[in-house]
Homo-oligomer: A and B are copies of this chain.
Amino acid sequence: MDVVEVTPTFEQYAFTFGGVAPLMRIRPGTALRVWSDDAFCGALQKTSDLSSEKVDLRFVNPQTGPFHVEGAEPGDTLALHFVAMEPARDWGASAAIPFFGGLTSTDRVATLQDPLPDTTWIYELDRAANTVTFAAQHTDLEIALPVEPMLGTVGVAPPGGEVRSSLVPERFGGNMDTPQMRPGTTCYLGVNVEGALFSIGDGHYRQGEGEACGTAVEGAMTTTVLVELVKGGASAAFPAWPRLEDDTHWMTVGSSRPLEDAWRIGQVELVRWFGELHGLHPMDAYQLLTQISEVPIANVVDANYSTVVKARKSLLPRAAAYGGLHDDLRRRAATLR
């Protein structure tokens, strides 16, 4: 199986979902090997590079895309199976951007206080050990942390002619910032416009749940992704909100404010999905999920907050979503390497 290599020029970076002409047209079944820049467009390279000086906040979180998927129409379901994610640089960067993050006032949680000190941390990558190193700024502590690559941002064009910043997580996916968006995961997104127009970006060499300070170990990433399309009859099983599947879990992602609404959305979507997967009445799905859900917060820092709601497959009867597409994509992925 061939893999199509995609490396955009800076001029081709997309900073919105919707509102951008396709970078490329592809057929369902295509495997892509996509390079994406880091969320700062590479502007933070040493600890003296401060975000307030080096980062133009109008041009952050660049996406590679959008990709027009041939035959995709509103009501279809796009499936993106992530085969591999490889750090494309030897360092990652993280920053406490003034008035951005979870433990500071922001433009929304508006207070009259001074910002936290603008600070940048650089994480050196050790490819042999597969670690990135946290280096404290105020003491000598250094800690090597495992690389666990993920994509912060995966989304399609929104409905209704809207164009949204790549910083926004929403029903169309976008900047969900969940560590679950990693190799081995299949992401299902409802298609809103002809061609789906998906794009990906915001590589993280690792990230904790919540992304507390607002930025992960941000790094350029090379992502191998298999693209598939579910046509017809999709209406019944159309994902109202992003759904994820890996070998061990069924997952949904809700994004809104306040955070409990993000959770409600994800939990209701999983109730809905369990109706499709297991024929469960909503009240029974509500009860069953009450006892088995895992709910790792994704982000509490973006334009919307996001949570993941997960259910472990091994606890449940065997079921297949979208005709067993995830297993099929896993098999196809194995042929790529």
Task: List A residues at the B interface (Cβ < 8 Å).
Answer: 15-16, 18-19, 58, 94, 96, 102-105, 107-117, 119, 121, 134, 136-139, 141, 143, 145-146, 159-165, 206-217, 254, 256-261, 263-265, 267-268, 271, 278-284, 286-297, 300, 305, 307, 309, 315-317
Copy count, this protein chain = 4
Indicate the member of A134, A256, A267, A294 with the most B CB atoms within 10 Å: A267
A-B contact pairs, 13 of them (CB 8 A): A102-B263, A102-B264, A102-B267, A104-B111, A109-B261, A112-B116, A114-B114, A145-B292, A212-B267, A260-B300, A263-B297, A295-B297, A297-B307
- Report yes or no: B108 in contact with A261, Cβ–Cβ below 8 A: yes
A283-B138, A316-B143 known; A261-B110 Cβ under 8 A = yes
Beyond A108-B256, A116-B283, A213-B286, whether A160 also contacts B16 by CB under 8 A is yes
Cβ-defined contact, B271 with A112, below 8 A = yes
10 new A-B contacts, CB < 8 A, other than A102-B260, A112-B268, are A19-B163, A104-B113, A105-B105, A105-B111, A110-B265, A119-B287, A137-B281, A146-B315, A160-B165, A162-B163
For the complex, what is the distance from the CA of A282 to the CA of B117, rounded to whole Å? 11
Query: Which B residue sits closest to A281, measured CB to CB?
Result: B138
- Bound together, the chains give a CA A267 to CA B212 distance in angstroms of 8
CB distance from A160 to the nearest CB of B (A): 6
Task: A256 to B141: give the CA distance in the assembly, Å.
Answer: 33
Structural contact, B294 and A208, CB atoms closer than 8 A: yes
List the B side residues contacting A216 at CB < 8 Å: 290-291
A289 lies within 8 A of B208 (CB): yes
Given A103-B110, A103-B111, also A287-B208 (CB < 8 A): no
**In the complex, what distance in Å separates the CA atom of A309 from the CA atom of B282?**
30
User: Smallest CB–CB gap between A14 and chain B, Å?
Assistant: 10
The reply to whether B264 and A111 contact each other, CB–CB distance below 8 Å, is yes
Q: Which of B109, B208, B281, B300 contacts A291 (CB 8 A)?
A: B208
Q: Are A290 and B212 closer than 8 Å at their CB atoms? A: yes
Say yes or no: A111 contacts B268, CB within 8 Å: yes
Alpha-carbon distance A172/B291, docked complex (angstroms) = 26
**Residue numbers in B under 8 Å from A208 (CB-CB):** 289-295
A94 touches B139 (CB 8 A): no
How many angstroms between the C-alpha atoms of A209 and B270 in the bound complex?
Answer: 14
- B108 adjacent to A265 (CB under 8 Å): yes
Whether B291 pairs with A103 at a CB distance below 8 angstroms is: no
Q: A111-B104, A112-B271 are in contact. Are A263 and B300 (CB under 8 A)?
A: yes
